[in-house]
Amino acid sequence: MKILMLSKALVVGAYQRKAEEIARLPEIDLRVLVPPGWRDPDRGMLPLERAHVEGYDLRATPIRFNGHFHLHYYPEFGRQVRAFRPDVVHIDEEPYNLATWHALWHARRAGARTLFFSWQNIARDYPLPVRWGEQWVLRHVDYAVVGTQSAAEVWRAKGYRGPLAVIPQFGVDPDLFSPAPRSRQGGTLVIGFVGRLVEEKGGADLLDALARLDGLPWQLDVIGDGPAKPALIEQARRLRLADRVTFDTLPSTRMPGYYRGLDALIVPSLTRPNWKEQFGRVIIEAMACGVPVIGSSSGAIPDVVGDAGLIFPEGDVTALADRLGQIMRHPEVRRDLAARGRRRVLERYTQAHVAAQTVAVYESLLAP
C-alpha cells in the first residue's frame, strides 16, 4: 500500500513519530512531503526537523505563500504524485485551504484515493471563492478524518456525506511522556498552565480562582508567551500573588520534565465567537506523565479528559476554585486521577494507537 502524506505539521520533529509508527505497520510504503519550513504567525519560522525518520521517506517540497493558512500550496505536488503513484493521498490540511483543493485535484487525476484532516469545530462561512473550493473538496474527497466529534458535526452540517473517522492528528510518546519515578509527597502544591497567553486561554480566571484559596499552599508555573502576559503579571501583583506565580518559556524537549514536576495542570479555556478549544494537546501530554488535569467545558476538553480529570463550567471562577481546593485537600483524588489519566492515554492517545487507526482508514479506502 503506497501512501503519500502531505503535511506542514510534520516539519516538527516530535510529530514525526506518528509517521514512523504508520511505516512500521505491515505492507505500508510511506512517503511524507513537507515544506522546508512553515512560517507560523505566532511562533515564527519553524524549520524542518529530522528527528524521527526511520522506515519512511521524508521529503521537503517547495511551498508558495508560506505562512498564509488559507492560500499556501505546493507547486510541485502534481509532479510528485505522478512520480510516486500512490494508492492513497493523505492531505493533512483543512478542507477549505487552497493546499487541499490543489492536492485533491492532482490526486484524483492520478487515480489515488484521498482523505483530509480537520480540527475545525466552529461552522464558519467563508467568502467566495474559498467557499467554492471547500464545497468542491467535500463533494470529491473519499474520506474525512477529524480530531473531535464536534469537528465531525461541523462537516456533516456543511454537507459532507462520505465516510468519516474521529482520530486525533497526533498522539504522544508514552515512553517520553511518562510519570515521575516517585510521586510528590506533601508540601506546596505545584500547579501548571501551558499555552499561548491570550485572553481566551483563561489565565485571568485561573489567577482569580487561586486568589480565593486562603490558607492553602500552592505555586503556579506558567509556561508560554503572548500579548496577555503583561496584564497577567499585573493581575498577579494586584492580587498579591506575584511571589507565588512564575512566568517562563521552555523548548519542547524540556516539557516532559516540566510536567513531572507538577501536581496538576489547569486548562481554563474560554469559548469565543471565532474560537473554542479544539483538542488541547497539553492535556494528553500531562495525563501521560501522570498529572491530574482540571479543564473547562470549552470545546473538546471534556471529551479529551473523560473521567480522568475534573471539569468545570468555563468562565466559572468559583467552580474552578472549588476543583482546585478539591485536589489540594485530597491527595487520594490526585493519585486516582493520575492513574486514570495515564491509563486513558495508553488506551486512546499514543502515537502507535493513532497510527493504527489511520492505517485502518487507508485499508477501508482500498477495500473492494
Residues 360 and 306 in one domain: no
Residue 179 lies in a domain: no
Total domain count, the chain? 2
Residues 87 and 214 in one domain: no
pLDDT of residue 184: 64
d(CA 134, CA 132): 5
pLDDT of residue 186: 63
Residue 331 lies in a domain: yes
Residues 83 and 223 in one domain: no
C-alpha to C-alpha distances, 147 to 121, 126, 141, 244, nearest whole angstrom: 9, 21, 17, 36
Residues 155 and 217 in one domain: no
Residues 151 and 198 in one domain: no
Q: Which triple of cell numbers denotes residue 30?
A: 510511506
Residues 317 and 361 in one domain: no
d(CA 353, CA 144): 18
Residue 164 belongs to domain spanning = 2-171+350-366
pLDDT of residue 214: 82
pLDDT tens, the chain, 368 aa long: 999 999 999 999 889 999 999 999 999 999 999 999 999 877 789 999 998 999 999 999 999 999 999 999 999 999 999 999 999 999 999 999 999 999 999 999 999 999 999 999 988 888 889 899 999 999 999 999 999 999 999 999 999 999 999 999 999 999 999 998 876 666 789 999 999 999 999 999 999 999 999 888 999 999 999 999 999 999 999 999 999 999 999 888 889 999 999 999 999 999 998 888 988 889 999 999 999 999 999 999 999 999 999 999 999 999 999 999 999 999 999 999 999 999 999 999 999 999 999 999 999 999 98
Q: How many angstroms separate the first and last alpha carbons of the chain?
A: 14
Residues 95 and 226 in one domain: no
Residues 344 and 354 in one domain: no
Residue 206 lies in a domain: yes
Helical (H) or strand (E) element with 255: helix 255-260
114 phi, psi to nearest 5 deg: -140, 155
Q: Which triple of cell numbers denotes residue 41?
A: 504567525
Residues 17 and 128 in one domain: yes
pLDDT of residue 126: 87
Residue 183 lies in a domain: no
Residues 54 and 23 in one domain: yes
CATH number at residue 119: 3.40.50.2000
Residues 331 and 355 in one domain: no
pLDDT of residue 41: 79
3-state secondary structure at position 334 = helix
Residue 177 lies in a domain: no
Q: Is the pTM of this model over 0.85?
A: yes
Going by C-alpha positions, the residue among 147, 168, 149, 145 that lies closest to residue 288 is: 168
pLDDT of residue 198: 95
Residues 304 and 159 in one domain: no
Could you tell me which residues are beta bridge partners of residue 310? 294
Residue 184 lies in a domain: no
d(CA 17, CA 117): 18
Residue 78 lies in a domain: yes
d(CA 70, CA 8): 13
